[in-house]
Amino acid sequence: MPDVGRRHGEPHRDKSSVESPCQLSAAPRPSHVSLGVERVVFAPIGYRAASHRSSVYNQHLYRSTPHAHQRVSTVNASRLTMPFMFLTSRQIHWVSAFLATIISAALSSTPGLAADELRPNILWIMSEDNSKHYLRHFDRHGAVAPNIEALAQHGVTFDRAFSCAPVCSVARTTLITSCYAPRIGTQFHRRSKMATMSNGVKMFPAYLRAAGYYTTNNSKEDYNAQKSGDVWNESSRNASWKNRPSDATPFFHVLTSTLSHESSLHFNATAMEQPTVTEPASVQLQPYFPDTKIFRYTRARYHDRIMAIDQVVGKVVAELQKAGELENTFIFYFGDHGGVLPRSKGYAYESGLHVPLVVRVPDKHKDMVDRKLASRTKGFVEFVDFGPTVLSLAGVDPPDGIDGDAFLGKDIDVAEVDARNEAFGYADRFDEKYDLVRTLRQGNFKYIRNFEPFLPDGLQNNYRYKMLAFEQWRQLHEAGELNEIQSQFFQKKPVEALYDLDFDPHEVHNLAGDPQYAEQRNAMRQRLTDRLKSMPDLSFIPEAVLFSEAMPNPVAFGQSNKSAIAGLIDTVNLALLPFAEAESKLKDALESDDPWTRYWAVVACSSFGKQASSLLPLVEKRLVDLEPLVVMRAVEFVAITSEEDPRPSLYRSFQRATNEPEALRMLNTAVLLNDFCDGRLPIDVEQIDFLFKPKPRSELIRRIDYLAR
């Protein structure tokens, strides 16, 4: 029996866990809650060295590619650990870093060795919110960007680069930690609480810095995990590689340009009188967009922003050249995630995940890259791989406990990189909007599992809808003026989708129900499920519970609850069976002692929709569930499948929410009822009452403001 969700006093608790000094448990639910029941509490989690090791050694089970760390270190920290076997791993790490610094300093100060001269600089130029689709270098309908194209002429283009998450903080945390966010508790944008970096893993620039690199970030961080003090020499708007202590010090510098950020498309109707350089009539609109003046102008304006990014790239190259560093510096240009017309940022489609990536290879280090200049590869690379790649180029070993593998560097096997064929994607929360989606791309097939398919893509997300195009899209939907493909955005989603990107690059023709593709679908479904279970993916525990219990050590929390999470995934995956086969299993799950089994059982029922109407009496029992988040799920099912009014149950639940993410999750359901139930179930904000005072300008207030207008 899994530990997750077991209530106080129940038998079979793992004794070793109880004895652990590292107990994590939820604060008791306040006694004045109407049902008088304490929050269901996880069994305490024991975090021991043994489980640490097994998690580290097993973590590559869920990678598609052969484990390919290439050890090319000049400063091999792990080899330094042998005389220190009596130390803890944290102490070993500290000693290794200390020795590495000494060795590095000795090398750089010894005349004749000139070690640093042999080490390349690495510079990242990251543009905000742009998928590969807006650059001609990747897509014939994209903008012309001569400076980015010039980088590619002197380097390598990665035609299959993926950010893993379609939103800023989650993508950036994936990048800086080299770990998949749902494994380490950093998958929520915005975070309600910072996750702690687990198992001694640091954000990767710390390893460069320990090896003598000067590390700078200008300037956006937006990490969802706590940063240790040794990551950056400087991270600010003034941070520059030019400030390094000596010309001989190699540097790693990150520059984020916000010129293409979503906010650059938050213009008003008056601003549209300002002409764009790109001719609106010339742009190619995605087939899911209505062809309107606003959409054309928005896309044209976005092409202009991409051209501005290109200018930034040109300026950086010129500066390096002037300083005599160009031919000693690897330059990466890439987008931080997709964007940024509607249905891109915030959505786990290719438009949200597939980013442009080119790497300029400097003349002095051509021998480190076994590829022709101006070549392209279709080998899949993900944000988890970028950190190990920089470490590999710098000759620093990657740490254990990360998820990525280097794709460039001296001993990298080009054929292995070219054969990489799989990308994993995740979407969880976008400010105040929740929608759990996982994706797997293999070759040109894309599989999407919508775990909450009854939440339409078009569900209100205040920041998204600041864009005129978003608002107009919704208005046209409400006016009934969209065709079938354009309307998909406002309809319930399929439980699973399969797209053949060769023929359907915009992911609008779902093949998941086509018998011809059943084998492909089943294989990808199984592969994704295996990956989620083996991580394990923490998102099958509600954020409100992770908030209370997991954040001091999310990885250990996941390992302790691995089998329980697998059980929850099996429960929600009942939605993938024919209903007749799922029905009796759903009945059992709805009556489970474990609240999160009941939670996902109701979600599976809602995924079936009216097909599961026979289960209405059983689900209605959950309207008085001990766990308010299960009540919330039952409210959705009743709203979706019956004519009854479940709002009183939802209003009561608000008064039982004990933290912001729990209340916010409930407000997501409130918006679903308000906006997508044919006007039958408008929400009265006067009836929404919390036990705690929401923070001003918080996501809770955003939702309330939206519902009140």
Site residues (CB under 5 A) for Ca ion? Answer: 128-129, 168, 336
Residue 585 CB burial class (10 angstroms; 0-12, 13-18, ≥19): middle
Half-sphere exposure for 400 (CA within 13 Å, toward CB): 17
Identify the bridge partners of residue 427 per DSSP, sorted by sequence position. Answer: 437
The phi, psi pair for 413, rounded to 5°, reads -85, 105
| Closest to 338 in 3D by CA, of 314, 326, 318, 354 | 354
Work out how close the CB of 352 gets to Ca ion at its nearest, in angstroms, rounded to a whole number.
Answer: 11
Work out how close the CB of 129 gets to Ca ion at its nearest, in angstroms, rounded to a whole number.
Answer: 5
Half-sphere exposure for 149 (CA within 13 Å, toward CB): 12
Task: Say how far apart CA 18 and CA 14 lie, in whole Å.
Answer: 7
Host H or E run for residue 532? helix 518-534
Give whichever of 129 and 428 is closer to Ca ion, judged by the CB atom.
Answer: 129
Work out how close the CB of 410 gets to Ca ion at its nearest, in angstroms, rounded to a whole number.
Answer: 32
| Closest to 586 in 3D by CA, of 563, 564, 622, 619 | 619
Work out how close the CB of 164 gets to Ca ion at its nearest, in angstroms, rounded to a whole number.
Answer: 13
The phi, psi pair for 276, rounded to 5°, reads -100, 155
Work out how close the CB of 263 gets to Ca ion at its nearest, in angstroms, rounded to a whole number.
Answer: 10
Identify the bridge partners of residue 425 per DSSP, sorted by sequence position. Answer: 439
* Amino acid in position 454: F
The phi, psi pair for 145, rounded to 5°, reads -140, 85
Cα angle value 251/257/261 (rounded, 5°): 150
Give whichever of 116 and 128 is closer to Ca ion, judged by the CB atom.
Answer: 128
Give whichever of 336 and 431 is closer to Ca ion, judged by the CB atom.
Answer: 336
Give whichever of 234 and 336 is closer to Ca ion, judged by the CB atom.
Answer: 336
Work out how close the CB of 339 gets to Ca ion at its nearest, in angstroms, rounded to a whole number.
Answer: 7
Work out how close the CB of 383 gets to Ca ion at its nearest, in angstroms, rounded to a whole number.
Answer: 12
Q: Which residue is nearest to Ca ion (CB)?
A: 168
Work out how close the CB of 346 gets to Ca ion at its nearest, in angstroms, rounded to a whole number.
Answer: 11
Can you spell out the DSSP letters for 193-237?
SPBPPPTT---THHHHHHTT-EEEEES----SBPPPTTS-SEEST
Task: Say how far apart CA 699 and CA 667 lie, in whole Å.
Answer: 10
Give whichever of 131 and 597 is closer to Ca ion, judged by the CB atom.
Answer: 131
Token pair in block for residue 566: 């697998």
Task: Say how far apart CA 404 and CA 386 lie, in whole Å.
Answer: 7
Work out how close the CB of 681 gets to Ca ion at its nearest, in angstroms, rounded to a whole number.
Answer: 34
Task: Say how far apart CA 499 and CA 506 lie, in whole Å.
Answer: 9
Give whichever of 129 and 385 is closer to Ca ion, judged by the CB atom.
Answer: 129
Work out how close the CB of 387 gets to Ca ion at its nearest, in angstroms, rounded to a whole number.
Answer: 18
Give whichever of 176 and 495 is closer to Ca ion, judged by the CB atom.
Answer: 176
Residue 178 CB burial class (10 angstroms; 0-12, 13-18, ≥19): buried
Task: Say how far apart CA 328 and CA 114 lie, in whole Å.
Answer: 14
Give whichever of 220 and 301 is closer to Ca ion, judged by the CB atom.
Answer: 220
Give whichever of 126 and 201 is closer to Ca ion, judged by the CB atom.
Answer: 126
Tokens 């097909």, residue located: 611
SS3 299: helix
Work out how close the CB of 168 gets to Ca ion at its nearest, in angstroms, rounded to a whole number.
Answer: 4
Work out how close the CB of 631 gets to Ca ion at its nearest, in angstroms, rounded to a whole number.
Answer: 35
* N- to C-terminal Cα separation, the chain: 47
| Closest to 139 in 3D by CA, of 361, 333, 425, 355 | 355
Work out how close the CB of 183 gets to Ca ion at its nearest, in angstroms, rounded to a whole number.
Answer: 21
Give whichever of 344 and 658 is closer to Ca ion, judged by the CB atom.
Answer: 344
**3-state SS string over 440-494?**
EEECCEEEEEECCCCCCCCCCCCCHHHCHHHHHHHHHHHCCCCCHHHHHHHCCCC
* Amino acid in position 292: T
Give whichever of 336 and 435 is closer to Ca ion, judged by the CB atom.
Answer: 336
* Amino acid in position 624: V
| Closest to 347 in 3D by CA, of 262, 285, 235, 425 | 425
Give whichever of 162 and 608 is closer to Ca ion, judged by the CB atom.
Answer: 162
Host H or E run for residue 552? none
* Amino acid in position 425: G
Task: Say how far apart CA 612 and CA 541 lie, in whole Å.
Answer: 24
Task: Say how far apart CA 610 and CA 623 lie, in whole Å.
Answer: 18
Give whichever of 129 and 325 is closer to Ca ion, judged by the CB atom.
Answer: 129
Work out how close the CB of 221 gets to Ca ion at its nearest, in angstroms, rounded to a whole number.
Answer: 12
User: Is the Cβ–Cβ distance between 97 and 77 less than 8 Å?
Assistant: yes
Tokens 């590292």, residue located: 22
Work out how close the CB of 302 gets to Ca ion at its nearest, in angstroms, rounded to a whole number.
Answer: 14
Work out how close the CB of 337 gets to Ca ion at its nearest, in angstroms, rounded to a whole number.
Answer: 6
Give whichever of 467 and 671 is closer to Ca ion, judged by the CB atom.
Answer: 467
Give whichever of 75 and 181 is closer to Ca ion, judged by the CB atom.
Answer: 181
Give whichever of 72 and 355 is closer to Ca ion, judged by the CB atom.
Answer: 355
Give whichever of 219 and 491 is closer to Ca ion, judged by the CB atom.
Answer: 219
| Closest to 457 in 3D by CA, of 437, 482, 484 | 437
Work out how close the CB of 84 gets to Ca ion at its nearest, in angstroms, rounded to a whole number.
Answer: 41
